[in-house]
Structure 1
Amino acid sequence: MIDEERTPVTVLGLGSMGRALAEALLAAGYPTTVWNRSAERAAPLVAAGAAQQLAIADAVAASPVIISVLTTFEATRTALADTGTALRGRTLITLNSGNPTDAREFADWAAARGARFLAGAIKNVPAAVGDPGTLLYFGGERALFEESTPLLRVFGGDLVHLGPEPDLAALYESAVGTTLLPTLLGFLEGAAVLAARGLPASSMVPYSAKWLEMIASLLPVLAEEIDNRDYTRLGSSVALFHGAIDDDRRLGAEAGVDMSWHEPMHDLLERAVAEGRGGQSITALVELLGQR
């Protein structure tokens, strides 16, 4: 049972996020044990009151709740491989990257070792750990999530249980995360275009922020069109984006900016137009992406 009696917790992995989680636990009064391959990373946390274990088996044995913030499910499994029966009867919570297949395989691995398991993701930066608006979502046993809620609320105030399947956090992490790299590349490309005119990237930040707010406001409409397969409401048609392909290429040539990363998107638009979807909303591209 995880409750407000400040159950001892072990944190595995002291990168920026692991360190932030351990700091939040200490600030909330939880007895906290830490472990990291590079032992010296624990020094500031030990100075703040954490206990350090150099052997991971000892770190696991120190607490009934283990929070792993190692990079992937495979990294966590590898690190825990030599802990013997230490996981039996303990709660293991992962907050790492990984795909749904890895999450399911890890859940089976943890169950075989007698651990109760929640797989989660924290959707904010380390500096925002503990903020009321910081989102964490989890897949796994509902009862375990509810038992863990007082502890998890130390890390963020917006807690969501996605369902009993242990791969759901990884699934949503993968689905939501697909927007990150294209968005960053778009910003970097814009910065390169401005740099070609001697203008700083900082000059477009206010406008980019407004643009992203506008896109965020459209997400419910996009989702409704996709879920209902009614590609008529948005107003931004496939043809509109298709007609801008030449402008994209001319801008790249004029600014001397490599825009080759656009070509797969252009190809998708060309295919949609060839299928007679030019008059449909841009959401119709989901049909070409294999959604159906």
Structure 2
Amino acid sequence: MAEGRKPPVTVLGLGLMGTALAGAFLGAGHPTTVWNRSPAKAAPLVALGAVHQPEAARAVAASPLVVACLTTYEATRETLEPAAGELAGRTLVTLNSGTPPAARAMAAWAAGHGARFLDGSVMSVPDAVGRPDTLLHYSGDRAVFDEHAGALAALGGDTVHLGAEVDLASLYDSALAGALLPTLLGFFQGAVLITARGLPAGSLVPYSVKWLEKIGTILPALAAEIDSGDYAEPASSVGIFHDGIEAMAEDPAMGEEADIDFSWLAPIAALLRRAVAEGHREHSISVLTELLRTPPPSAPERAPSPAGP
């Protein structure tokens, strides 16, 4: 490779995220080869200088670093099966959804074909790819990560190697993903309440951001309680949350006034009721971690009220 020339990269999969990844590599000066099951999706990237290969095997053969951004590990393996003979000596990076066991199976499959392997996760949306503050997690052999760190930095400035255990990126992705949809649903619920009064949803945004920032400041203390197993001195108790959600359930006028469906909160309400029933009313809300570690009792849960949980 000529001095100063950026190493070539191949990107497999050109959905919204894959297209953003390929664009970031191109923008950073990496010769970029792309492949997609639907070739038409490659056209905008070809216009920017990418090389489109219609066959996955030829795309893999084009670069020492192959980044696969398909839906799941299974889809990645299915795509790479015809190209397996080209993987030996190359580094395969997966940036897809899946579970830690699936990540381990993918790593074993790659090793069986002579490839070095890193698993990864993009902790942001496609539009944020390439920005200095965009977070990406990787796991696997540290030496392999270090070799390609310069190229991978094109995808985001906050690039973290979590450790040599190959499934750590998937593990942290799974752990963090659990907070996303409930958080969004909470905002959507708030938007319904606000807009039902004729106010714009946008008026809720600055206060939501401040609220999320405040939540961020209490996470270290909650994590310390979880690590120690001591929930006896709460800043916020189970009882406070329990009584708040029960108040919503017992006031059907609230749901009717905004014409809102609170039923998505039913499992959360059931978990809080279980915590109180098991004697945790005065404990920190972080004690719910212990309930999540164990299956619920076999007794049927109380059905939610029509107006809410």
On whether the aligned pair clears a TM of 0.5, the verdict is: yes
1:20-73 Cα offsets, whole Å, 9 max, x none, are 221121122211111011101111111111111001111111111100111111
Q: Which residue of 1 aligns with 2:100?
A: 100
Give 3-state SS (helix, strand or coil) of 2:132's partner.
Answer: coil
Q: Is the 8 A contact 1:34 1:50 kept in 2?
A: yes
Residue 6 of structure 1, CA deviation:
1.6
Distance 1:43 1:65 in 2: 22
Unpaired runs of 5+ residues, structure 1, are none
The residue matched to 1:288 in structure 2 has which SS?
helix
Quote how far apart the aligned CAs of 1:127 are.
Answer: 2.0
1:39 aligns to 2:42 (yes or no):
no
Residue number in structure 2 paired with 1:271: 274
Tell me, in whole angstroms, the C-alpha distance in 1 between the residues paired with 2:118 and 2:173. Answer: 15
Structure 1 runs of 4+ aligned residues shifted over 6 Å read: none
RMSD: 1.8
CA distance, structure 1, for counterparts of residue 56 and residue 130 of structure 2: 26
Report the alpha carbon displacement of residue 234 of structure 1 after superposing the two structures with TM.
4.1
Deviation at 1:240, TM superposition (A): 0.7
1:286 corresponds in structure 2 to 289
Query: What is the match of residue 139 of structure 2?
Result: 139
Is 1:220 aligned to 2:220, yes or no?
Answer: yes
**Equivalent residue pairs, number:** 291
Find the residue that maps to 2:104 and give its secondary structure. helix
> In 2 relative to 1, CA 4–171 (structure 1 residues): closer, same or farther, beyond 3 Å?
farther
Determine if contact 1:231/1:284 at 8 Å carries over to the other structure: yes
Residues 1-292 of structure 1 mapped to structure 2, 5 A cutoff: 5-249=5-249, 250=251, 251-290=254-293
Distance 1:235 1:253 in 2: 33
Counterparts of 2:104 and 2:67, CA distance in 1? 18
**Is the 8 Å Cα contact of residues 246 and 269 (structure 2) preserved in structure 1?**
no
User: d(CA) in 1 for partners of 2:234 and 2:148?
Assistant: 41
Distance 2:23 2:196 in 1: 44
Task: Report what 2:298 is aligned to.
Answer: none
Does the 8 Å contact 1:221/1:234 carry over to 2?
no
Of 251-260 and 155-164, the range deviating more from structure 2: 251-260
- Percent identity of equivalent pairs: 57
- Output the CA distance in 1 between the equivalents of 2:28 and 2:115: 25
CA distance in 2, matches of 1:112, 1:81: 12
CA distance in 1, matches of 2:165, 2:239: 40
In structure 1, what residue type is equivalent to 2:71?
A: T
Conservation of the 8 A alpha-carbon contact between 1:88 and 1:115: yes
3-state SS in 1 of match to 2:162: strand
Q: CA deviation at 1:226?
A: 0.7
Q: Give deviations 1:204-226, integer Å, cap 9, x for gaps.
A: 11111111111111111111111
Aligned-partner Cα distance in 1 for 2:180–2:150: 30
Give, in whole Å, the separation in 2 of the partners of 1:121 and 1:87. 21
- Partner-residue secondary structure (3-state), 2:92: strand
* 8 Å CA contact 1:132, 1:157 repeated in 2: yes
Residues of 2 paired with 1:137 and 1:229: CA distance? Answer: 28
Are the counterparts in 2 of residues 11 and 33 from structure 1 also a CA contact under 8 Å?
yes
TM-score (norm 1): 0.95
SS of the residue 1:88 aligns to: coil
Q: Is the 8 A contact 1:221 1:233 kept in 2?
A: no
